[in-house]
Amino acid sequence: MIQHSYQSILTALSKAKVRYLVAGGIAMNLHGFSRATFDLDLIIFLKKENILKFTKVMTKLGYCP
């Protein structure tokens, strides 16, 4: 099983200039609301270049699109 911290994933996406938003439970936690969650919900900008950058970063981290 692949394990990366949320921070390492978000840092990699930001460095690659991927346009994304954090959603779900993590977004709630970042806004000060306590919510137990173990997944990372991301919304990405659906333009071809952005999707390709997102896929490249996630593949480098060991995830399969």
The pTM score is 0.78
Determine the pLDDT at residue 20: 96
Q: How does pLDDT run across 22-49, given as a tens digit for each residue?
A: 887 666 556 676 766 667 889 999 999 9
pLDDT, mean of residues 46-57 = 98
Determine the pLDDT at residue 27: 60
Note whether 35 and 29 are within 8 A (CB).
yes
Of the candidates 46, 48, 65, 56, the one whose C-alpha atom is nearest the C-alpha of residue 13 is 56
Note whether 34 and 27 are within 8 A (CB).
no
